[in-house]
Amino acid sequence: MPSQILITGGAGFIGSHLADALLSAGHRVRLLDDLNPQVHGPDRRRPSYLAADAELVVGDVRDRDAVGRAIRGVDAVYHFAARIGVGQSMYAMADYASVNTVGTAVLLEAVAKAHVPRLVVASSMSVYGEGAYCDSSGRLVHGVTRDIDQLRRRDWDLRGEDGRRLVPVPTPEAKTPALESIYALTKYDQERSSLLVGRAYGVKVSALRFFNVFGPRQALSNPYTGVLAIFASRLLNKADKYRQFISARIRSRRPHS
């Protein structure tokens, strides 16, 4: 049976693809998005890639009135609205705490008041910190970090108590969180708050810890795409240098007139 579904942050990269999938499955979709200029540009216009059938409510997730309008009559909520990016969170701390933590609290109050039965919240791989490693004896090691002196020496490897390099291993979902940034802290807060409220109000809640996601509609100016933008730029630069090299070789082989 078709449902009315709300996606917060729905005009963004992941949210818009989800909207397409839900519409294709026959659901009605409403999007709440503040069209942040860092992602959507200074004009804050409705993105051209949004499906015409997707209803867009332009508003901030911290705005109770906007959230109240957006959540009216919905059967499920996908909560993707957030400030994203680890590095930026370390100098825009108040903004990240406000949008991610306070914004989620505003949404959860609305979910409880409207008796929405289903909530899916986007958490992040960042809650795992450095992930899981094994030391030289094969013992599983958690919570290891690089101190400032090690970073100054440009020693990027994680090392055990014996000074030997640790070996990365698959990180289990049950790993104890290691919150190394304000972003990670707020994403963990989002998932825990949602799970707590879900249990208290009988809402079925799922928290998804997204890893690096990339694809069409992704804004390269978005801090989330930092490493992917670097990889893409290097690949493009390498391809451009290769084309220049081939062109030079071709020119050198042409007969002189």
* Residue spans per domain, the chain: 4-128+177-219, 130-176
Give residue 238's pLDDT. Answer: 75
Question: Which candidate in 96, 128, 133, 183 is catalytic?
Answer: 183
Task: List beta partners, residue 79.
Answer: 8, 121
Task: Mark whether 133 is an active-site residue.
Answer: no
The 10s digit of each residue's pLDDT in 11-68 is 999 999 999 999 999 999 999 999 988 888 888 899 999 999 999 999 999 999 999 9
Question: Regarding the domain delimited by 4-128+177-219, which CATH topology (the fold level of the hierarchy) does it fall under?
Answer: Rossmann fold (3.40.50)
The 10s digit of each residue's pLDDT in 162-191 is 889 999 999 888 888 999 999 999 999 999
User: Whole-model pTM?
Assistant: 0.85
